Amino acid sequence: MSRVNLAGLLPSELEDLAVELGASRYRGRQLAAWVYRKGVFDLEAMTDLPKDFRERLTERAVIEVPEPERVTVSQDGSRKLVFLLADGRRVSAVLMPDDDRMTLCVSTQVGCGFECRFCLTGVMGFERNLTPAEIVGQVLAANRLLAPAQRVTHVVFMGMGEPLANYGALVTSLRILTDARLGVGYSPRRITVSTVGLVPGIEKLGREGLRVNLAISLHAATDEVRTRLMPVNRAFGLAALMAALRRYPLAPRQRIFFEYVLLDGVNDSPEDARQLARLLRGLRAKVNLIPFNDWDGAEFRRPPLPRILAFQSVLLDAGITTTVRWSKGEDIGAACGQLREPVPA
Ligand code: SF4
């Protein structure tokens, strides 16, 4: 019988497992605290659990989270963590310090099947979904790396893969990360899920009551340009996407984030900015402009600075909060759209 991985189980499932093994639910809660609060993955080290319970657990369960195989530090202070998974594949997460924030960008899939033309990860193609243990494990590993002085303060699901295409594992991970009583305990306001705009997934996520932030990889304000950049737009065009976003339940003061990679001569004209302002009218929105990060073989270029600032001005003049996000970790292949890990032959 294959043993269950305790990391990646909901705290309530850990309680159920404790009962199944003849212990009380309280033991399951202790187990959750060890794994998710203290980041301890060795059953032997869980000294407040009775020995016979630990023995029964050892027969039935393992605790397996990916450990970073390599950590690369960028000149700007960000760190790329490369995880070797049990099947030999690799994914990355990126730690980005910023004032008193420590944001971790996590991956949800190995590779990605959406083929956005400006994204290096898309070039890899889709290999497989990550499990909840592999997703939550990136956060736990980053916190272990930072301990004791620091902790990850914000988690963004913007790494390798499309989170909503791995829906079940995503939602389980979010429940573990946001469980204030027994999980990792992040406020949902500190977690952001980024999607290319899978409308059914957005609608489903809205009904989960998780209250996490939503970010849309938009990158164009017309269907024509967006379809050219992102083939997914053929399945879910801008009209359907914007209608779903207008229905998306937002908490007071919560906004939807829009990611917009600026590509020289493709989507960066003042008219593109005006179209974008029209598209977002009436929505509680914040736009993050991301000047393109060059990579070898890319068919796009970063626009010159005056063009980036002119684009931003149009949006600001329309009353839309807009920031330019100068990517972190460019020198270590950790910037937005640059994540790619070789798979050993
Ligand atoms: S931008 Fe996101 S969805 Fe598009 S190919 Fe890259 S990882 Fe996939």
Q: At 217, is the pLDDT very low, low, confident or very high (cuts 50, 70, 90)? A: very high
> Which of 217, 232, 233, 261 most suits a substitution to test ligand 1, by most atoms within 8 Å of the C-beta?
217
> Which of 196, 219, 288 most suits a substitution to test ligand 1, by most atoms within 8 Å of the C-beta?
196
Based on the number of CB atoms within 10 Å of its own CB, is 117 exposed (0-12), middle (13-18) or buried (19 or more)?
Answer: middle
Q: What share of the chain in percent tops pLDDT 90? A: 86
Does 215 sit in the ligand 1 pocket, CB within 6 Å? Answer: no
pTM score: 0.93
Asked if pLDDT for residue 174 goes beyond 70, the answer is yes
Both tokens assigned to 331: 């020198």
Does 119 sit in the ligand 1 pocket, CB within 6 Å? Answer: yes
- What is the atom index within ligand 1 of the atom nearest the CA of 217? 1
**DSSP run (H or E) holding 126:** strand 126-129
CA of 2 to the centre of ligand 1 (A): 34
Q: What is the pLDDT of residue 149?
A: 83
Q: What is the pLDDT of residue 122?
A: 73
CA of 123 to the centre of ligand 1 (A): 9
CA of 287 to the centre of ligand 1 (A): 18
CATH class of 4-62: mainly alpha
CA of 295 to the centre of ligand 1 (A): 15
Does 261 sit in the ligand 1 pocket, CB within 6 Å? Answer: no
Closest CA to 170 of 143, 205, 144: 205
CATH class of 68-332: alpha beta
Mean pLDDT across the chain, nearest whole number? 93
Cα(230)–Cα(113) distance, integer angstroms = 11
Cα(202)–Cα(285) distance, integer angstroms = 16
Please tell me if the domain spanning 4-62 has the same topology as the one spanning 68-332.
no
Q: What is the largest distance, in Å, between two alpha-carbon atoms of the chain?
A: 69
Does 116 sit in the ligand 1 pocket, CB within 6 Å? Answer: yes
Both tokens assigned to 122: 């898309």
Does 217 sit in the ligand 1 pocket, CB within 6 Å? Answer: yes
Closest CA to 131 of 192, 86, 191: 86
Q: What is the pLDDT of residues 72-108, one digit of tens each?
A: 998 888 999 999 999 999 999 999 999 899 999 999 9
Instruction: Please tell me whether residue 338 adopts helix, strand or coil conformation.
Output: coil
Q: What is the pLDDT of residue 281?
A: 95
Cα(55)–Cα(230) distance, integer angstroms = 51
Q: What is the pLDDT of residue 147?
A: 76
Closest CA to 130 of 96, 180, 166, 99: 166
Q: Which residues contact 286 (CB under 8 A, 6 or more apart)?
A: 255, 256, 257, 258, 320, 321, 322, 323
Q: At 343, is the pLDDT very low, low, confident or very high (cuts 50, 70, 90)? A: very low
* DSSP per-residue string spanning 46-114: -TTS-HHHHHHHHHHEE---PPEEEEEE-TTS-EEEEEEPTTS-EEEEEEEEETTEEEEE---EEE-SS
Q: What is the pLDDT of residue 342?
A: 45
Q: What is the pLDDT of residue 2?
A: 82
Q: What is the pLDDT of residues 146-172, one digit of tens each?
A: 978 899 999 999 999 999 999 999 999
Both tokens assigned to 111: 């590779």
Q: What is the pLDDT of residues 309-323, one digit of tens each?
A: 999 999 999 999 999
Does 329 sit in the ligand 1 pocket, CB within 6 Å? Answer: no
Does 166 sit in the ligand 1 pocket, CB within 6 Å? Answer: no
Does 196 sit in the ligand 1 pocket, CB within 6 Å? Answer: yes
Residue nearest to atom 4 of ligand 1 (CA): 116
Q: At 54, is the pLDDT very low, low, confident or very high (cuts 50, 70, 90)? A: very high
Residue nearest to atom 7 of ligand 1 (CA): 161
Helices (H), 125-263: 132-146, 167-178, 199-207, 223-229, 238-247
Q: Which residues contact 15 (CB under 8 A, 6 or more apart)?
A: 25, 28, 29, 32
Residue 129: φ, ψ to 5° = -80, 150
Number of other residues whose CB lies within 10 A of the CB of residue 150: 14
Query: What residue spans define the domains of the chain?
Result: 4-62, 68-332
Q: At 124, is the pLDDT very low, low, confident or very high (cuts 50, 70, 90)? A: confident
Cα(239)–Cα(246) distance, integer angstroms = 11
- What is the atom index within ligand 1 of the atom nearest the CA of 120? 6
